[in-house]
Amino acid sequence: MTIEFILNGEDVVVQTSLDRRLIDILRENFKLLNAKAGCRVGRCGSCSVILNGKVIPSCLVSAFRIRGGEVITLEGFSLTDEYQDIASGFSRAGVENCGYCDAAKILAAEALLEQNPRPNKDEVLSAFNGVLCRCTVPRLLVDGVLAAADIRQRRLYGRAP
Amino acid sequence: MEGLHNQVFFPTTMADLFSSWARCPDAVPYAGGTDLILGQGGRSFLLPRNIISLAPIEELRRISRTERYLEIGAAVTLAEIFALGKIVPEILRSSLSEIANPQVRNIATIGGSLCCRRRRLDVFAPLAVLDARLELRTATTSRWVSVGRFAPESGEPLLEKAELLTRIRVPLESWNYNLYTRIGGIGIPTEDSASFSFIARAENDILSEVRLALAGMELIRDRSIENTIVGKSLPLTRKHASGFHERWRDRLNALNAPYPADLLRDRFLNLVEQAVMGLAE
């Protein structure tokens, strides 16, 4: 089947069988390697991407479901101001980069901040339910997301509310 | 389910959908797909041979609200319902917040959660106690059924051939007492996992409505037991509260069926006690 979709802002076409997972299409056809194929059952979060504006585990999405949609991977997201907010917040809090779960952590933070610009600690922890990597202690993640929220508010409104 | 695929239909209207279904009666409606691919950890999915994608149908992704009801299209995701905030009855919100993780809730749909054939998934118990009703449509007919009728105590959901769950109508009533608990570990539901829901309403310190359900491999609800404490003054006396608990114990003992198994049965009875004692304190 030929599937057309938008990938990181570009119109792309891929010839693939319907039963392939989005994660494999991204990694094998487009060589976008930031999303990792971890558990393949939607639990670990390492394959997170943004599909039509929502953060989803790309291991649970079959090829036909991306037809006509828009996919943004961490590679594409890293070119945005929103990414810079989160990267700066994480850096300020001392959240280390992790080769396994960066896509999961950063996109989970973005999904939360997009819906809830001023989350509290419990909301941050709940948003990271689907990120099973243990590279970072939860307290640092909370600090990182709260710092990112603060940075974003300053960027958008010139001040923290 | 086979690895070979013949066709995927992408209807954009309900008329298109039923027309595609008539041409290919073995096609399986596919919204989020999380239940169909549950636990498939291999490189590729084992998908139904023919698929009707529900994602392009705007009508199935619509949410509307009146003063009395919230109407949710069957292809609305669990995350979208949760994001509605306090409009959504508390017992349903509690359930949604505990299903899988936020990323999976962005894919999983309310319709898919109700149409699972193997068991009653977590949204069942809250929707059962809220007396939600479900719209089932074919190309030429439409009917509304209660959650309890749609999914009788055991067996597959009540869907006729070429009939689709299209809308879920949730009554918007206020409840003074809400207790939702998911029993069992995270991950793929097992025979020992279930969801427990209890809601109650009091008016002028009189208990006017009580509803309680357990949903796991089967849906268990008993209106006659619920009615035994309706009309009683609050706080409930110990006698009434323990009588309610005893009736549930007798009800489960009388079932004499393998479900619920001992562990789940004990946990359920503990939750019944916790719920009813909350009205006695």
pLDDT in tens, B94-104: 999 989 888 99
B106–A62 CB contact, under 8 Å: no
Domains annotated for chain B, with CATH where assigned, are 7-171 (3.30.465.10), 177-280 (3.30.390.50)
Distance CA B172, CA B142 (A): 23
CA distance B43 to A18: 12
Q: Shortest CA distance to B33 belongs to which of B46, B20, B24? A: B46
A130: closest chain B residue by CA: B101
Q: For residue B151, what pLDDT band results from cuts at 50, 70 and 90?
A: confident
Residues on chain B touching A42 (C-beta within 8 angstroms): 34, 100-101, 103-104, 107
- Residue among A43, A62, A115 whose CB faces B45 most closely: A62
pTM: 0.92
Given a contact cutoff of 8 angstroms between Cβ atoms, the answer to whether A55 and A42 are in contact is: no
SS3 sequence of chain A: CEEEEEECCEEEEEECCCCEEHHHHHHHHCCCCCCCCCCCCCCCCCCEEEECCEEEEHHHCEHHHHCCCEEECHHHHCCCHHHHHHHHHHHHHCCCCCCCCHHHHHHHHHHHHHHCCCCCHHHHHHHCCCCCCCCCCHHHHHHHHHHHHHHHHHHHHCCCC
To which residue do tokens 């995927």 refer? B8
CA trace torsion B211, B214, B220, B225 (10° rounding): -40
Considering only B3-17, B68-82, B88-102, B194-208, which range has the smallest mean pLDDT? B3-17
Which of B184, B203, B155 is CA-nearest to residue B266?
A: B184
pLDDT for B272 equals 96
In angstroms, the CA B28 to CA B44 distance is 18
- CB contact, 8 Å: B185 with chain A? no
Q: Which amino acid is at A126?
A: S
Q: What angle do CA A29, B9, B117 make, to 5 degrees?
A: 95
Set of chain A residues whose Cβ sits within 8 Å of the Cβ of B101: 42-43, 45, 129-130
Q: Give the dihedral sign, CA B12/B171/B226/B197.
A: positive
Pick the residue of A54, A116, A132 with the most B CBs within 10 A to test the interface with B by mutation: A54
Chain A residues whose beta carbon lies within 8 Å of the beta carbon of residue B44: 17, 19-21, 24
Amino acid present at B105: R
Q: Are B195 and B214 in contact (CB under 8 A)?
A: yes
Within 131-150 of B, beta carbons closer than 8 Å to A belong to none
**Are the Cβ atoms of A60 and B106 closer than 8 angstroms?**
no
Strands B50-53 vs B219-221: parallel, antiparallel or unpaired: unpaired
B280 and chain A in contact, CB less than 8 A: no
Residue to test with chain A: of B61, B103, B106, B109, most A Cβ within 10 A: B103
- Note the pLDDT tens digit of each residue in B197-243: 999 999 999 999 999 999 988 889 999 999 999 999 999 999 999 99
Q: According to the CATH classification, is domain A81-157 in 3.30.70.20?
A: no
CB B180 within 8 A of CB B95: yes
State residue B235's pLDDT score: 94
pLDDT of residue B3: 47
Predicted pLDDT of residue B1: 47
Q: Which residues of A touch B (CB under 8 A)?
A: 1, 17-21, 24, 39-43, 45, 48, 54-57, 60-62, 64-65, 67-68, 108, 111-112, 115, 126-127, 129-130
pLDDT digits (tens, 9 = 90+) for B51-70: 999 999 999 999 999 999 99
Q: Name which of B194, B214, B204 is nearest B275 in CA terms.
A: B214
CA distance B5 to chain A (A): 8
- Reduced to 3 states (helix: H, G, I; strand: E, B; else coil), residue B231 is coil
3-state secondary structure of B251: helix
Q: Which residue has the higher pLDDT, B183 or B211?
A: B211
Which string of b and e fits B112-121 if b means at least 16 CB within 10 Å?
Answer: bbbbbeebbb
Distance from C-alpha of A105 to C-alpha of B34, rounded to nearest angstrom: 22
CB contact under 8 A, B41 and A55: no
Mean pLDDT lowest among B48-57, B147-156, B164-173: B147-156
* B12/A contact by beta carbon, under 8 A: no
Residues of B in contact with A127 (CB under 8 A): 102
- We find that the CATH architecture of domain A2-73 is Roll (3.10)
Which residues, including other chains, have CB under 8 Å from residue B162's CB and lie 6 or more apart?
Answer: B18, B21, B22, B25, B138, B139
Residues B142, B123 contacting (CB under 8 angstroms): no
Residue B2 pLDDT grade (very low, low, confident, very high; cuts 50, 70, 90): very low
**B275 Cβ neighbours under 8 A, 6+ residues apart:** B177, B179, B198, B212
Q: Kindly list the domain boundaries of chain A, sorted by start residue.
A: 2-73, 81-157
Nearest to A65 by CA among B45, B92, B245: B45
Q: For residue A22, what pLDDT is reported?
A: 96
Distance (Å, whole) CA B264 – CA B270: 10
Lowest-confidence region among A6-20, B151-165, B261-275: B151-165
Divide the 161 residues of chain A into consecutive groups of 10 and give the mean pLDDT of each group: 95 94 96 93 92 94 94 96 96 91 92 91 90 88 96 87 57
The CA distance from B57 to B75, in Å, is 9
Res B7 pLDDT > 60? yes
Starting at the earlier edge strand, list the strands of the sheet with A48-51.
A10-15, A2-7, A70-72, A48-51, A54-57
The ipTM is 0.90
Amino acid making up residue B48: P
Rounded Cα–Cα distance for residues B103 and A109 (Å): 11
| DSSP state, residue B61 | G
Coil, strand or helix at B56? coil
